[in-house]
Structure 1
């Protein structure tokens, strides 16, 4: 198992999904030999994500803006990950409307954690939207072993390229899983092009006791986030920067999965 350090000439190591970004994240990413990370937080307007990605990028680490969209109602939510989307799209649209909107952008569309808990695209969803999807995730540290097996089965059935990521909500998890592309990734456009073309890649994740402890810490954090923090966000209609009633074209208010009045109950 690779243990970090600089990637070889002509190749690029990318962590395709992290939820946090600060000086500690950047130090950690550089220390483990990453060339790029995709910063894709929840409930954050694309303009803010872009500003933060630009601020933390430098010659040694590229931070690519991304959005993990929260689609549909809380009880039937699905996540969709876009890499470097062109235009802001709000959360809480139906799954079908969300995919249709971002498929019109020059962006990479990824399936994060398929059929994981109650917040993921299903095998049927992926099959129905395979023309829009660029890769399916087959490993991240929040998964349990059976989640990894199921993700691999789904990816095989889809016939789509695969990826893995740290899906890091905690700084220590940055770079615990990464993709090594066969080409330089010097810009967000380079990464999108690699994803959309199905560029050759090798995939790695760390192993051993420390990695397993980090996996369990990430899963515990997910439980807290979904049972408390995210719930508070969802029951406050209109307060989120990514609510359809916010800073978006008026047409999105009519596409709100909870209805045009914005009620989330």
Structure 2
């Protein structure tokens, strides 16, 4: 009987260990989901598009929310196609088209402006500057990129083709692509992810301006050769065409080389991402 009891005890111990291990895996999964910096599933920063919020398949992503009907349940088809991709003649003036397969926005935008008008006199805050110098107040609180600020550049307009809500997320493909590579849907992006809705960019960080021009007149903007992360990435390397502030300056849309939440190149914990460019 003693041997039987011992065997039963061993079995019970094994069961307990299996249950404990399973609970441990569940706990790890829960922590991973809670700590997931970009994904709707479990895709930590820098681990690729699969499982991230830009994964629009149904198996691993959020495609079910946007009417994904592709029989192959592809991730990339929403934005890219290897054949019969969009050409510039059909792109509403967008010149950057990386095998682009999605409908494009034709929206024109109301752009960001500083709240302080053209100077401290208009703001009613004259004399409240650095060392009581109203001119210094204006220099430090006005947006100094207005000279080059225009509508968002081509690379940002690709992002806005989903994010401004004017084009359905599930609007992709064109003739003569196969029928299952096309979708003419109506599912627009959720409000919390909408940027530039109704053409309004006045309350968002400005894009479409020359960072290099701003840094020459604003002593609270970091040198473009400032190193961003441990790999040696610089601000300049993240500027579109080495100069322009665009969506890709802050976000890695494919979740491949970033280390921060919401596709940011590095985490904004303790505002460290903002303080990379803004010297405060």
The interval holding the TM-score normalised by the smaller chain is under 0.3
Structure whose residues are more often strand by fraction: 1
Tell which structure's C-alpha radius of gyration is larger: 2
Greater RCO (CA < 8 Å, at least 6 residues apart) = 1
TM-score scaled by length of structure 2? 0.23
